[in-house]
Structures are given as C-alpha cells and as structure tokens.
Chains A and B, each alone.
Chain A
Amino acid sequence: GAVVSQHPSWVICKSGTSVKIECRSLDFQATTMFWYRQFPKQSLMLMATSNEGSKATYEQGVEKDKFLINHASLTLSTLTVTSAHPEDSSFYICSARDRISGNTIYFGEGSWLTVV
C-alpha cells in the first residue's frame, strides 16, 4: 500500500531554535497533506492543510508564523517549528490522501519533538 514517510522520528532542540519536520509520500502524489499535533493522552488536533504550490490553510488558533508549512512538490511537505518553546513539545504527524486509491488516508510515522 501507499506509504507516507516522516523524518525525523524524534528530535530534541533547545528553546529558541527552529526545527524542520519532513513528510513525504513515497509512491503517490499528494496535492494536499495535513499536519496534526498530538499531546500525550490526547487526540490528534489538525493544525493546517498543506497545499502544493500555494499557501497552507491553518486551523483556528494555530499561529502561522510559528508553524511554517511549505509544500514545494507533489511528494513533500515540511513543517518548521520556529522559535520553539517547551510547550511545543509534542508528537507531530502528517497525513496524505492517495486520490487514485480513493478515500484512503495514509499517516506518516510521526515525529516526537522535545524542546529543552
């Protein structure tokens, strides 16, 4: 089946620095990808919709200047957490839909971010 790869799987960074997470669709093209954040023992909260070749659409309450999303190609979306703070520590996970196969939505493996 289709695969979505996310990198890195875990990262530790210092407060004030930025960290980039990549989401790749390996065997299909994804004009749209989605970024979620999941705090421990909580649900997946949609942060933004990443659109290939255009600006991302952010959900209410998500700071677009803090969470920069770039969707430069049909197989790659990146999420950059800028000026990270400890409260940004979370599990970040992306997803993409393979339009050819229909409704199936594939998730990346997720990225654990710890800000110290």
Chain B
Amino acid sequence: GENVEQHPSTLSVQEGDSAVIKCTYSDSASNYFPWYKQELGKRPQLIIDIRSNVGEKKDQRIAVTLNKTAKHFSLHITETQPEDSAVYFCAARLYNQGGKLIFGQGTELSVKP
C-alpha cells in the first residue's frame, strides 16, 4: 500500500522567514496530494492541495510543488507569522480510492516572534 514519509518532524523559524516541509510517497498511482494544518484537539484544516497533473500551485503565502518522477512534494510557507504555528500533515490519495488518504507523520512548526 501507499506510504508517506514527512520531514522534518519539528521546524522552528523566525517570524518572516520561510518554512519548507517535504514529503515523499511510494505509490506512483497516487494522484492527489493535500496539505493540512491541525491545531491541538481539532480537525485537520485543508490549506492547499495539488493534483498529479500539476507541478506547482500557489495561494498567497503558501505554495506546493510536486515532482512526480521523484515522488515527492513540498509545502512552502513564506513570510511566516506566529499564527502559522501548528502541526502540518501531508497526505496522498491513490487513484480511484475515493477519499482514502494516507498521512505523513506530521511536522510541528513553531514560528518565533
């Protein structure tokens, strides 16, 4: 089955700096890659997603890149703010598997003012 690896597990940056979180997946049949932000005890919130037919997607300070050949995708947050502090999860969905997501291990991002 699909396996998703996420790095780093913790990331600390200064306010205003950029943060990058990387994920790799194992199954080349995966075709949808969402990123979630989760605050303690709450549901994951979708922040950005990308499909396998697209290499890059940007939404204001957040961008995601996908390298299908290498089977990895990355989340980029620019001009970080303290409110960006949370746990971020990447995920992958196999083609034709409905909404079944396999999650990475998570990255705890801390943005220091």
The interface of chain A, by Cβ under 8 A from chain B, is 32-34, 36, 42-46, 49, 60, 91, 93, 95-97, 103-105, 107-110, 112
Give the top 7 A-B pairs by smallest Cβ distance, nearest first.
A97-B99, A107-B43, A105-B99, A32-B98, A44-B103, A43-B103, A43-B105
Closest Cβ neighbor of A108 among chain B residues: B43
Contacts of A103 in B (CB 8 A): 32, 34, 49, 51, 93
| Contact between chains at A44 and B44 (CB < 8 Å) | yes
Interface string of B99-111 (1 = CB under 8 A from A): 1111111100000
Known pairs A34-B101, A97-B99, A105-B34; A43 contacts B41 (CB<8 A): no
Report chain B residues within 8 Å CB of A42: 105-106
Chain A's closest residue to B32 (CB) is: A103
Name the distance in Å between B105's Cβ and chain A's nearest Cβ: 5
Residue of A95, A103, A104, A109 with most chain B CB atoms under a 10 A cut-off: A103
Given A95-B101, A105-B101, A110–B41 Cβ distance below 8 Å? yes
Question: What is the number of contacts between chain A and chain B, taking CB atoms within 8 Å?
Answer: 55
**How far does the alpha carbon of A33 sit from the alpha carbon of B98 in the complex, in Å?**
9
Report the nearest A residue to B90, measured CB to CB.
A43
Q: How far is the CA of A32 from the CA of B102 in the complex (A)?
A: 16
State A60–B102 Cα separation when bound (angstroms).
13
Is the CB–CB distance between A97 and B89 below 8 Å?
no
Chain A residues lying within 8 Å of B32, measured Cβ to Cβ, are 103
Task: Name, among A93, A97, A104, A107, the residue most crowded by chain B CB atoms within 10 Å (CB to CB).
Answer: A107
